[in-house]
Structure 1
Amino acid sequence: MELSLPLNYAGDPREACDHVAALESAGLDAVWVAEAYGFDSPTLMGYLAARTERMKIGAAILNVYS
């Protein structure tokens, strides 16, 4: 069984990445990143990929029209 959770997109992206890195060391397997109201999820997903080692990163909602 793998454990995952959605990433809260409100707030500072650096704090969110620090939180995800800490959760990875605690055993979390995957995080889902949604895009809403001008929040750029592909950029944050790339930053998460650079800050984590084995974390699976998924796009929960990705608006292709904006």
Structure 2
Amino acid sequence: MDYDKFLEKLKEASLSKEDFTELTGIGSNLVKGWGTQRQGRKTQPWVESWLELYIKNKEKDIVIKALKN
């Protein structure tokens, strides 16, 4: 995933870069490195699927909470 798409997905998930690093346990310098030309402005391969699952689970949690009320 390119870095700009990563930033869009973070926004869609309502996560900051700091939230992401805390939830995944990776260092903030690694995330900053993804945005550099040296790294090709690409994230690691697992990031896209992690964010997709996070967003889907968050949506399901909202629905479940609404159904319980």
- Regarding TM over 0.5, the answer is no
Which has the larger helix fraction?
2
Which has the larger strand fraction?
1
Higher-Rg member (1/2): 2
**What TM-score do you get using the length of structure 1 for normalisation?**
0.27
**What TM-score do you get using the length of structure 2 for normalisation?**
0.26
